[in-house]
Amino acid sequence: MKNAKISNAVINRLPRYRRYLLELQKKGVEKISSKEFSSLIGYTASQIRQDLNNFGGFGQQGYGYSVEGLREEIDAILGLDKEYRMVIIGAGNLGQAITKYTQTIKGGFKISGVFEKNKELIGNMLEGIEIMDYEDIVDFVEKEKIDIGIICVNRESAQEVADKLCFAGVKGIWSFARVDIEVPKHVALEVVHLSDSLHTLAYRMNDIKKSGTRKNKEDKKE
């Protein structure tokens, strides 16, 4: 794959392509042209061809894309053909919400443990997972070969938790802490600020009220 310097925009569009391909597969669609795909997903046909060419174009002229083939390729590109072992740090409201949510995500993402500093919560069960002592996280991550640490602690503790996870050897951090954190170059980081999405919605609502109609298409954050 010649994915030397693929922009975030492209990478962030891949999961969306994948969702549409899954829907097409469910409908029994076997192949699709970039034009048909364009009318579905809302990107231009040339954009779609460009995006997918980043990974060594799949489609054949005059034939279009094989829906299943393209989806499998994207799965492989995203690394969804692998298993990922995850830990969640923070068993408060945020951690409880994200644990519950993460369990609704399909694919090879498995929560191996939940960790918490608050002694009163340690030992309790959360979504069928025992809440363990944060003190033991480094040993656990090393022993269980954890790939991803999910940070659900408050802003004050987030960086310290990230440092500990990186030290313990996670390959990726998925952070829901309401502060931006820094990690070494060899660790992947994805920070989710769900409230940003709600704030954007508030903006759009007020924007519509002012102008009477919607100016932007949502769900396309390129």
- Pairing type for strands 31-32 and 65-66 reads antiparallel
Residues 95-124 that bind its own copies (CB under 8 A): 96-98, 100-107, 109
What's the CA gap between 13 and 220, in Å, rounded? 8
What's the CA gap between 65 and 159, in Å, rounded? 43
Instruction: Give, in degrees to the nearest 5, the angle at Cα 33 between 28 and 81.
Output: 60
Pick from 209, 198, 91: which is nearest to 153 by CA? Answer: 91
For CA atoms 139, 142, 145, 151, the dihedral sign is: positive
Q: Quick one: which of 88, 158, 174, 177 contacts its own copies (CB under 8 A)? A: 174
Residues 132-171 that bind its own copies (CB under 8 A): 147-148, 171
Residue 172 CB, nearest distance to its own copies (Å)? 4
Q: Quick one: which of 79, 130, 143, 144 contacts its own copies (CB under 8 A)? A: 79
Q: Quick one: which of 11, 29, 126, 168 contacts its own copies (CB under 8 A)? A: 11
Residues 180-199 that bind its own copies (CB under 8 A): 180, 185-199
Select from 13-21, 31-39, 43-51, 114-122 the region that touches its own copies (CB under 8 A): 13-21
Residues 47-66 that bind its own copies (CB under 8 A): none
Q: Counting contacts by CB under 8 A, is residue 85 touching its own copies?
A: no
Residue 107: DSSP 8-state: S
